[in-house]
Amino acid sequence: MTAPANILEFENLQIVARIAGRDYIAIDNVSFNVAQGHARGLVGESGSGKSLTLRAIMGLLPSNVRVTSGSIKFQGIDLLADKGKYRKSVLGTGISMVFQEPSVALNPVMKIGKQITDSLVERSDLNRRQARERAIDLMDQVGIRDPEKRVDDFPFQLSGGMKQRVMIAAAIACGPELILCDEPTTALDVTIQAQIIDLFKKLRSELKVSLLYVTHDIGVVAELCDAISVMYSGRIVEQVDDINKVFSNPQHPYTKALLSAIPRIDGPIQRLKGLEKTAPSLTQRSQELAPPMTQIEPGWEIAPFEFSDLNQMWSSSSHE
């Protein structure tokens, strides 16, 4: 059996942020793929560059941040070329995105039904009534009860979990093949988190969509994803196409540290190790380029341990 083709391919992505007149490398040497129909988790602490990576795909980088080299290919075509024309044509229909905070990512003064279908209406000749019907169908599909009553509600009339479902309904409205998820459960209660994860599982199996799932919750990745990339300080430190390998036998000390920070229900009762230090802020980071990754086996690579930002961390901590 051959491996499925890649729907999304990152190659040597470098992103630079301009802060107070100086350029800082925010992301360097990021290369990974999302295989057709698969889900990859992109894991890291806050500020590790995982959300920036997602926004680079969508062309939603802040004005002081730019991609300086590398490519992001969707179905083999570079999204960063031709001034974003190709990207514009696949947004919504090919790639869509679910944001972290449903309470700020939905337009507060627009009916949710309209927000779910407005991009669909723009691309098709659905009339008002048909669009409303479609919105109700989509709301039903993402598990919103009484969609006929809810379709004319405004976001502030909905709970956080419901708002997140609305956003997911909008994200699948145009039938995308890849959904980018930017910590979609972080702002939600734990029980709601589980429901949303189940919803993503359902969408994966029903719609055959591929996912690139950004989170700092490695447990969510374990439940939902096939592949994982661990980021630290704007660099990938370890990534593997078969997620089980990293859980049973993490190679990079940072990955080990991350895994040891998760409480286990079946493990011995002990103090959680946690991480000694968080990553240095962008302006304090090492500006040296990321060293090439080493391949342990096909589909499994790690960064050299002695990469300097990490070095600081290991030398001053008790993790060795």
Partner 1 sequence: MIRFLVKRIALLIPVVFGIITATFLLMHATPGDPALTYLGNHPTPAAIAALHHQWGLDKPIINQYFDFIGGLFTGDLGSSLFYNETILKLIALKLPPTLMLMLMGSLFGVIFALPLAIWTAIRKDKFIDHLVSLMNAVILGMPIFFIGAMGILFFALKIPIFPVGGYGESNLQHLWSLVLPSITIGLGLVPLLVRSLRTSVIESLDSEYVAFARSKGLKNRAVWLKYALRNGSISGISILGIQVGYLAGGSLVIENVFAIPGMGSFLMSGILNRDFPVVQGATLTFAMLVVLVYLMTDVAYALLDPRARFK
User: 181 vs 257, which CB is nearer to partner 1?
Assistant: 181
- Of 6-14, 21-29, 171-179, 298-306, the segment contacting partner 1 by CB under 8 A is 171-179
Task: By CB under 8 A, tell whether 174 contacts partner 1.
Answer: yes
304, amino acid identity? P
Continuous segment of H or E residues that includes residue 73:
strand 65-74
Biggest CA-to-CA distance, the chain: 64
Strand partners, 210: 178
Task: Give the side-chain half-sphere CA count within 13 A for 73.
Answer: 15
In this structure, the number of other CB atoms found within 10 A of the CB of residue 10 comes to 23
User: 151 vs 310, which CB is nearer to partner 1?
Assistant: 151
Task: By CB under 8 A, tell whether 75 contacts partner 1.
Answer: no
**Among 11, 118, 223, 309, contact with partner 1 (rule: CB under 8 A):** 118
Residue 202 CA to residue 199 CA, distance in Å, equals: 5
User: 113 vs 253, which CB is nearer to partner 1?
Assistant: 113
Place of tokens 């969508």: 58
Strand partners, 229: 42, 239
**Among 157, 278, 284, 308, contact with partner 1 (rule: CB under 8 A):** 157
Q: Which of 27, 85, 11, 93 is nearest to 61 (CA)?
A: 27
Task: By CB under 8 A, tell whether 133 contacts partner 1.
Answer: no
Task: By CB under 8 A, tell whether 127 contacts partner 1.
Answer: no
Task: By CB under 8 A, tell whether 105 contacts partner 1.
Answer: yes
Task: By CB under 8 A, tell whether 181 contacts partner 1.
Answer: no
Task: By CB under 8 A, tell whether 104 contacts partner 1.
Answer: yes
**Among 10, 74, 99, 254, contact with partner 1 (rule: CB under 8 A):** 99
Beta carbons of 279 and 45 less than 8 angstroms apart: yes
What is the binding site for partner 1 (CB under 8 A)? 55, 58-60, 88, 90-93, 96-97, 99, 101, 104-110, 118-119, 122-123, 154, 156-157, 167, 170-171, 173-174
